[in-house]
């Protein structure tokens, strides 16, 4: 095994770094702590690690002081049994002069594939002169259990597919200037982003290939991150559940109605199994559940939740519906914009049972109410959306609310507050 690892290390030192498009992620390494980047597969975690490596090289760090291991490399399959200590033994046998004398920068890609990685990394941080960077496609790497096993030796950041702002960076369009010409470029780019979504690999491919790539992502997440990782004995049930969620994106669900749906297809499962499957999809950053806002934990748990996908453009590639609800896709897009910036997101129902799509909150208690409506051109639709938002604002004592549309823009004010109607492209670039 050590000879294989040596070969992997040397091959990497002799290769060029594929650094891709710079990301806006502000990772801050902290002495004595592992830097953990987590997110869905193919979101650009490895490329972001290469960008960090390139910055080190630009500062004069020798490539030999960089140790990179991708745990999805098939050659490392037996490492799960032979032990992670083989990595350090192989590396220091190549560069013995560096041990405890020079800073070594360790990059471990998709390390969650190997059990016991937490104790290995914690021991590495204690015993070696090093910085450690980790990527993973499991939200469990944020959990309290992992933090406990690492004894506080890890800080985590989430990596999502490209935001619209990052997509503009890739297109070399200034997102901060709204001159007539630049506004046209931004709006045109938003049309591309709407069709293609944020996964880096599909930026410049045609629709047919984009659909195939999205479907490959879906199947890989389904079978590697769920069926294989959790040794699921009913893979068809998991697939049917995933397709139901995709077909009902931005809609409400309950464990009870999912259970009865799968039961109607002939699957013999318990409600707890359905809940577990859904939790594993969320753990893989593929689906996100949004609860109702309620001070009561019990009421929050028994009310339906709403479901969203990691990428709005991936939904049409997977969905079995001929006609996709573009309003639901817009709501999914808005959710992802909020999810990148806010620590807590709920949907809200007023005392008169009117619904507002999102109540997002930061740790500093800053709140924003966001309603999503493709168009307000219909007077009944306009009144319904405004009434719901104004009621929620009054109940929550907020003076501002937002309605995100596909293209419309205006401001409606009254004595107690105002509602800003903003087009989706502008909302995606809004700072909170």
Give the model confidence (pLDDT) of 85-123 as tens digits: 999 999 999 999 999 999 999 999 988 888 888 889 989
Alpha helices in 197-233 (DSSP H): 207-220
Spatial separation of the C-alpha atoms in residues 243 and 408, rounded to whole Å:
32
CATH among 1.10.3470, 1.10.150, 1.10.1060, 1.10.10 for 205-324:
1.10.10
Rg (CA), the chain: 24
- The structure's pTM equals 0.94
Q: Where are the beta strands (DSSP E) in 73-209?
A: 104-109, 130-136, 154-158
pLDDT at residue 145 is higher than 60: no
pLDDT tops 80 at residue 233: yes
What is the reported pLDDT for 132?
A: 96
Contact 137, 110 (CB under 8 A): yes
* 195's tokens: 């069709």
pLDDT tens figures, 381-410: 999 999 999 999 999 999 999 999 999 999
pLDDT: is 26 or 380 the higher one? Answer: 380
What does the alpha-carbon distance between residue 16 and residue 37 come to, in Å, rounded to a whole number?
22
Tokens of 62: 């020798």
Element (H or E) spanning 311, and its range?
none
> Under a CB-based contact definition with an 8 Å cutoff, are residues 6 and 90 in contact?
yes
CATH 3.40.1350, the chain: domain bounds: 327-432
Which pLDDT score, from 0 to 100, does residue 193 have?
A: 98
Residues 6+ apart with CB under 8 A from 64: 13, 95, 98
Residues 6+ apart with CB under 8 A from 123: none
Query: Where do the CATH 1.10.10 domains begin and end in the chain?
Result: 205-324
Confidence of residue 144 (pLDDT cuts 50, 70, 90): low
Per-residue buried b or exposed e for 66-90, using 16+ beta carbons within 10 Å of the residue's own CB: bbbbbbeeeebeebeeeebebbbeb
Cα separation, 369 vs 347, whole angstroms = 9
Specify whether the CB–CB gap between 401 and 371 falls below 8 A: yes
352 backbone dihedrals φ, ψ, rounded to 5°: -95, 15
Quote the distance between the C-alpha of residue 300 and its chain's center: 23
Taking the domain 327-432, which CATH number applies? Answer: 3.40.1350
Given pLDDT bands bounded at 50, 70 and 90, which one contains residue 147? low
The most confident of the ranges 108-117, 300-309, 368-377 is: 368-377
Assess if CATH 3.40.50.300 describes domain 2-158.
yes
pLDDT by residue (tens digit) across 269-289?
999 999 999 999 999 999 999
Picking from 53, 38, 33, 17, the residue whose alpha carbon sits closest to that of residue 135 is 38
Which pLDDT value is given to residue 148? 64
d(CA 133, CA 409) in angstroms, rounded, equals 43
Q: Are strands 417-423 and 400-405 parallel, antiparallel or unpaired?
A: parallel
Mean pLDDT across the chain: 93
Collapsed DSSP state (helix, strand, coil) of residue 402: strand
What is the pLDDT averaged over residues 170-193?
Answer: 94
CA proximity to 191, closest of 177, 213, 173: 173
Mean pLDDT of 359-380: 94
pLDDT score of 322 more than 80: no
CA distance 220 to 228: 10
Within a 10 A sphere around the Cβ of 431, how many other Cβ atoms? 5
Q: Find out whether 406 and 423 touch, Cβ atoms under 8 Å.
A: yes
Query: Using CA atoms, how far apart are residues 216 and 241, in angstroms rounded to an integer?
Result: 17
């Amino acid at each position: 095994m050590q000879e294989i690892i040596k070969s992997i290390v040397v091959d990497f030192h002799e290769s060029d770094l594929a650094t891709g498009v710079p990301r806006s992620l502000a990772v801050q390494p902290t002495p004595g702590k592992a830097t953990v980047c987590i997110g869905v597969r193919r979101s650009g975690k490895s490329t972001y690690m290469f960008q960090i490596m390139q910055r080190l090289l630009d500062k004069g760090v020798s490539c030999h002081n960089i140790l990179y291991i991708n745990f999805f490399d098939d050659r490392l399959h037996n490492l799960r049994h032979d032990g992670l200590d083989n990595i350090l033994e192989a590396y220091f046998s190549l560069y013995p002069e560096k041990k405890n004398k020079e800073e070594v920068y360790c990059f471990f890609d998709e390390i969650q594939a190997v059990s016991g990685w937490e104790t290995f990394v914690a021991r590495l941080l204690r015993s070696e002169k090093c910085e450690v960077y980790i990527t993973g496609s499991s939200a469990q790497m944020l959990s309290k259990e992992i933090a406990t096993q690492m004894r506080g030796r890890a800080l985590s950041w989430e990596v999502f597919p490209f935001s619209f702002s990052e997509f503009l960076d890739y297109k070399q369009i200034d997102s901060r200037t709204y001159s007539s010409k630049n506004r046209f470029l931004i709006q045109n780019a938003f049309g591309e982003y709407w069709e293609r979504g944020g996964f880096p690999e599909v930026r410049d491919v045609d629709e047919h290939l984009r659909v195939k790539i999205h479907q490959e992502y879906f199947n890989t997440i389904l079978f590697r991150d769920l069926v294989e990782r959790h040794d699921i004995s009913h893979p068809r049930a998991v697939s049917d559940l995933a397709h139901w969620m995709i077909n009902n994106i931005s809609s409400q669900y309950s464990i009870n109605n999912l259970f009865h749906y799968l039961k109607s297809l002939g699957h013999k499962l318990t409600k707890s199994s359905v809940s577990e499957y859904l939790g594993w999809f969320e753990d893989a950053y593929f689906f996100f559940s949004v609860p109702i806002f309620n001070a009561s934990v019990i009421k929050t748990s028994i009310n339906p939740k709403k479901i969203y996908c990691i990428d709005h453009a991936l939904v049409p590639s997977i969905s079995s519906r001929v006609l996709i609800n573009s309003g639901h896709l817009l709501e999914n897009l808005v959710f992802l914009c909020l999810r990148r910036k806010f620590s807590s997101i709920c949907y809200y129902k007023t005392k008169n049972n009117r619904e507002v799509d999102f109540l997002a909150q930061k740790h500093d208690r800053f709140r924003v109410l966001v309603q999503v409506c493709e168009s307000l051109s219909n007077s009944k639709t306009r009144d319904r959306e405004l009434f719901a938002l104004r009621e929620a604002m009054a109940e929550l004592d907020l003076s501002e609310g937002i309605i995100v549309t596909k293209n419309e823009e205006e401001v409606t004010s009254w004595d107690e507050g105002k509602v800003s109607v903003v087009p989706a492209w502008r909302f995606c670039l809004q700072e909170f």
